[in-house]
Structure 1
Amino acid sequence: MSTEVADNTPVVIGVGQYSERVGEPGYAALSYMDLGGRALAAAIADTGASGDVAGAIDTLAAIRAFEMSRPGREPPFGAANNVPRALAKRVGANPARAILTTTGGQTNQQLVGEFAQAIAAGESRCAVIVGSEAISTVLALSAKGEKPDWSEDVPGDFEDQGFGVEELLEPALFAHGASGAIPLYALAENARRRRLGMGLEAYRLEIGRLFAPFTRVAAANPHSAAPVARTAEDLATVTDRNRIVAEPYPRMTVARDQVNQAAAVIVASAGLARELGVPEDKWVHIHAVTAATELKLSERPDLAGNPASLASVDAALARAGKGMADIRYIDFYSCFAIPVFNQCDHFGLSVDDPRGLTLTGGLPFFGGAGNNYSAHAIAEAVQRVRGDRGSYALVGANGGWMSKYATGIYSTQPADWSGNDRFAVLPKATDAVPVAKGPVEAAVVETYTINRGPKGPEAIFIGRSEAGERVVGNADLSDAATADAFESGEPFGVRLSLIQDERGRTVGRVTL
């Protein structure tokens, strides 16, 4: 094979994962940087190289930890002032280019494409992507009143790419209580439920049927945060422990961010892989990477849809010259059910597809390792195709509220990068629905959710005004008719009269 693959062909030569669970044997309460360093060391060891891989790294991208992903947020125990070089020093690397990435779960997968493109162009020879989360340890130590010092002063320059959250900002939704991933995804999920004509209980069971096979994969994965197999009924049944967090989601069916997990991916030129003595049975080829950005949630013509993600997968398959039937290993990003359902709906996949729809166990069960989850999926994909020569794996990576998507296709079969056209960023849609900029008298409900928190229920809706503009507001649950409509799970199509409250929020009541 070595004579057939051009020296500037990008190949994945190493992947590594590291994890620990609070209270288990060997638990060391590692910091973000120490977890990441161990994953990177594992990726270097995974290459099987006889040469100095760490010394050959010319580019290192550090994925932002959740606690560093928004302006004004500070990690409670401190962190390195130079995250990428703090990770690099743990393996003795000194890359010419060090990067702190933007926020988003698609970042790892998109960077594989960007770095592969740079390697094919001769601008890099060895690039590393590494990220980590220690949220579980932070919570455990904080609960005991402990506060270790995880700060580090590491010299050297690095590129701070910023938070990159502009596409994630939804001011009207945030102002009305949909200020996090759970209610925002719930709004989209209920829009899909409406389209299917399913009641809440039936739809929760549908989510359970999707995710039950994921739990079995997670139960067999040593890096899982929650390695417990569960039935569809376990996941769908509402109990004190499996309470509703936002309709229609029980707690066990949402991404689990309380993890201590890290993963790393090493991409190198085939020429460097040869120089470093990386055995060719370790090489995994990158057949296509595509990236796409979606309209903001409040602007999407179909509130249940995510056409950017579908276009990303379609484009990656097309560039790889494959159909979904040709893919043997699949990992669809599964922070919530709907990003997976959207792919199933589009490709006609069953929730019990014999190939499975996750390689890790999924974000609610394996763990939602912040912005770094897809590195774990890529690591699993690489190991699968290495063990099944000639097979193909697909990783779909999602960011924000189905805001961004990146897809990668991997195989031990060589990929021709001579045209350097296997990475593509797709154009953004232009059919945004206008959002009302001022007070509106009435709106018809398109979708909704009810946050179930300690302060009581809070109903959030997205609707359309008579002018066709999008309207966001809160339903007045103190009004009996309004409460009946929303608590029934069927407020779709209901007309609300709207007022502005003293806080400037839009509040709707059912029009009788």
Structure 2
Amino acid sequence: MTDKPPIPDHHIPVIVGIGEIVDRPKEITDGLEPLDLLERALQRAEADAGARLISEVQSLDVVNFLSWRYRDPERLLAQRLGITSAHCYYGPVGGESPIRYIHEAAKRIARGECTVAAVCGAEAQSTATKADRAGVKLPWTPFAHDVEEPKRGAAFQKPLAVKLGVFRPVTVYPFYEAASSAHWGQTPHQAMAESGTLWSRYSEAAAQNPNAWLKRRYTPDEITTPTAENRLIAWPYNKLMVANPSVNMGGALLLTSLAKARAAGIAEDKLVYPLGGASAEEPRDYLLRDQFHESHPQNAVLKAAMDLAGGDGKKFDAIELYSCFPCVPKMARRTLGLSADVRPTVTGGLTFFGAPLNTYMTHAACAIVRRIRGGDKLGLLYGQGGFVTKHHALVVSKIAPRDALAQETSVQAEADRNKGAVPQFITEASGKGKVESFTVLYGRGGDVEHGVVMLRTEDDRRTLARIPASDEGTLGHLLNMDRTPVGSLGDITMAADGVPEWRVA
């Protein structure tokens, strides 16, 4: 048996440059617009590589941004950079998209379709929000009012979910939080303690990251204790447990073929190799899922990433597990077989580093490249978008790959094989209902607005039901820290406004 021939250098993709920018203007009107942040991040990535590459970019991916609207922002950026790319793309909303774009750019290089690729993203939400509140006109590229806003959360959800307020990330992820912790046999108190400890570790990483928005360590108690500054939003999440989008940030990566990197004189210690990865997704309507204690696409994607590391999640030296809400990395680290004392971030998390909406993982990729350059051998980047909807993982290494980059990355079939029966959803129900999961929504003043339970009826159909703020007994049952309400029975009745309501038996 003969050894496989080595992969030609011009078919080996490599990350050669990373660039980040954080903008904290003293005056609102001095704030940089997203196009400025993109351009400067790419210039920094080029400087980091130590070679003139931007003028040779043949593949340009721009992560979707929401703080300002342009017509064809990818074309505007290409014009600014003076490049004509065969692949010039501005993608849809999705927190996993930076990892997908880096992976796809690597595959283009592996196929020989290009030799230099750029992936970049930026947001200027902090400046845009301050300007809007102050009534200040920003001296930016005119806002493209005629460009349709991308569809998000509510556009894909059932009317009853929208009516009850459970159509935004902060009100949907709690369903996974409650269902998963109950499945693991945790009391709500234990689940909250795990979240606080985990988030404190994310804040430690942010404190060490010069690009982070909040650069200080928070204790577990600071994170989990509601205060006026750390108000409850949707049980069990306080403000310090959710993503912080009010930041101004840009990030960029440059990839080339190994042959191009060497021809350009890029130092060997700069090179980080993508080894491969995987993707899968759920239906956008979260009520079309079989259950909420785990994510089959997440499991399939992470297991495929582990296979690239010899089937052992502990072989990753540097890890970034997407952290919009605690349930995501809590589920992921269990799938990876990692211990509870792991710190699954090199960046700092979407609460503390900051959440430039879809492009957090661009910054995470920059951070993991720094770690691999600094001596770590193997890194895992796991991004996620929607409501535990879209998943993409990428494995990167200090050592050049022995095998060509696989072109088929979908593990959708594996995810779908593990999916159970999806219960029929109904909007009118009566009789007994068993709690599948729940949350409680709070107003800005800290008062309960109402509770929401996801229920299974006696004939195993699914519905959503409200618990009025006046039903203190049922709310007390939901918020008991010593015993999960998941699995408990109660009575469903239809309220005068046509919404099911639930009272604990």
TM-score, normalized by length of structure 2? 0.89
Worse-superposed segment, 201-210 or 215-224: 201-210
- Whether the 8 Å CA contact 1:9–1:416 is kept in 2: the answer is no
Aligned 1:81-480 pairs, distance under 5 A? 81-151=71-141, 163=150, 169-171=156-158, 172-295=160-283, 296-321=285-310, 323-353=312-342, 356-388=343-375, 391-418=377-404, 420-421=406-407, 423-427=409-413, 428-429=415-416, 430-442=419-431, 443-454=433-444, 456-480=448-472
Code of the aligned partner of 1:31: E
Determine the C-alpha separation between the residues in 2 that align with 1:230 and 1:413.
36
Code of the aligned partner of 2:475: A
Per the alignment, residue 3 of structure 2 pairs with none
Per the alignment, residue 492 of structure 2 pairs with 498
Q: What is the Cα deviation at residue 441 of structure 1?
A: 1.5
Determine the C-alpha separation between the residues in 2 that align with 1:359 and 1:40.
21
Q: What is the Cα deviation at residue 456 of structure 1?
A: 4.2
- TM-aligned CA distance change 1:379 to 1:126, over 3 Å: same
Per the alignment, residue 53 of structure 1 pairs with 53
Determine the C-alpha separation between the residues in 2 that align with 1:506 and 1:255.
31
Give SS of 1:493's match: coil
Where in structure 2 are there 5+ consecutive unaligned residues? 1-5
Determine the C-alpha separation between the residues in 1 that align with 2:185 and 2:173.
18
Per the alignment, residue 43 of structure 2 pairs with 41
Q: What is the Cα deviation at residue 5 of structure 1?
A: 4.9
Per the alignment, residue 11 of structure 1 pairs with 14
TM-score, normalized by length of structure 1? 0.88
Give SS of 1:66's match: coil
- Whether the 8 Å CA contact 1:227–1:365 is kept in 2: the answer is yes
Determine the C-alpha separation between the residues in 2 that align with 1:461 and 1:173.
11
Q: What is the Cα deviation at residue 335 of structure 1?
A: 0.9
- Whether the 8 Å CA contact 2:313–2:338 is kept in 1: the answer is no
- Whether the 8 Å CA contact 1:290–1:315 is kept in 2: the answer is yes
Q: What is the Cα deviation at residue 346 of structure 1?
A: 2.4
Q: What is the Cα deviation at residue 417 of structure 1?
A: 4.8
Determine the C-alpha separation between the residues in 2 that align with 1:138 and 1:494.
45
Code of the aligned partner of 1:349: L
- Whether the 8 Å CA contact 2:428–2:499 is kept in 1: the answer is no
Give SS of 1:372's match: helix
Q: Give deviations 1:430-457, integer Å, cap 9, x for gaps.
A: 5341232452213211110001114742
Determine the C-alpha separation between the residues in 2 that align with 1:476 and 1:372.
37
- TM-aligned CA distance change 1:465 to 1:376, over 3 Å: same
Q: Give deviations 1:298-318, integer Å, cap 9, x for gaps.
A: 233331212211211110221
Q: Give deviations 1:60-110, integer Å, cap 9, x for gaps.
A: 11111134xxxxxxx4xxx33121122233333332321110111111111
- TM-aligned CA distance change 1:380 to 1:472, over 3 Å: same
- TM-aligned CA distance change 1:367 to 1:501, over 3 Å: same
Determine the C-alpha separation between the residues in 1 that align with 2:80 and 2:210.
24
Q: What is the Cα deviation at residue 325 of structure 1?
A: 2.1
Per the alignment, residue 488 of structure 1 pairs with 480
Give SS of 2:10's match: coil
Determine the C-alpha separation between the residues in 1 that align with 2:110 and 2:153.
30
Determine the C-alpha separation between the residues in 2 that align with 1:259 and 1:328.
29
Determine the C-alpha separation between the residues in 2 that align with 1:174 and 1:366.
30
Give SS of 1:242's match: coil
Q: What is the Cα deviation at residue 163 of structure 1?
A: 4.6
Percent identity, please: 27
- Whether the 8 Å CA contact 1:319–1:422 is kept in 2: the answer is no
Q: What is the Cα deviation at residue 274 of structure 1?
A: 3.2
Per the alignment, residue 72 of structure 1 pairs with none
Code of the aligned partner of 2:34: Y
- Whether the 8 Å CA contact 1:59–1:97 is kept in 2: the answer is yes
Q: What is the Cα deviation at residue 487 of structure 1?
A: 4.1
Q: What is the Cα deviation at residue 161 of structure 1?
A: 13
- TM-aligned CA distance change 1:494 to 1:322, over 3 Å: closer
- Whether the 8 Å CA contact 2:303–2:335 is kept in 1: the answer is no
- TM-aligned CA distance change 1:196 to 1:22, over 3 Å: farther
Code of the aligned partner of 2:32: L
Q: Which 4+ stretches in 1 moved above 6 angstroms?
A: none
Worse-superposed segment, 191-200 or 117-126: 191-200
Worse-superposed segment, 450-459 or 214-223: 450-459
Q: Give deviations 1:275-312, integer Å, cap 9, x for gaps.
A: 43333332211111211113553233331212211211
Determine the C-alpha separation between the residues in 2 that align with 1:473 and 1:441.
11
Determine the C-alpha separation between the residues in 2 that align with 1:472 and 1:27.
45
Determine the C-alpha separation between the residues in 1 that align with 2:307 and 2:407.
12
Q: What is the Cα deviation at residue 131 of structure 1?
A: 0.7
- TM-aligned CA distance change 1:419 to 1:61, over 3 Å: closer
Give SS of 2:9's match: coil
Determine the C-alpha separation between the residues in 1 that align with 2:155 and 2:420.
18
Determine the C-alpha separation between the residues in 1 that align with 2:45 and 2:108.
21
Where in structure 1 are there 5+ consecutive unaligned residues? 68-74, 155-159
Q: Give deviations 1:15-44, integer Å, cap 9, x for gaps.
A: 1111123549x9941111111111111111
Give SS of 1:129's match: strand
Code of the aligned partner of 1:80: Y
Per the alignment, residue 70 of structure 1 pairs with none
Per the alignment, residue 32 of structure 2 pairs with 30
Q: Give deviations 1:108-140, integer Å, cap 9, x for gaps.
A: 111222222222222222221111111111122
Give SS of 1:267's match: strand
- Whether the 8 Å CA contact 2:426–2:462 is kept in 1: the answer is no
Determine the C-alpha separation between the residues in 1 that align with 2:131 and 2:323.
28
Worse-superposed segment, 135-144 or 40-49: 135-144
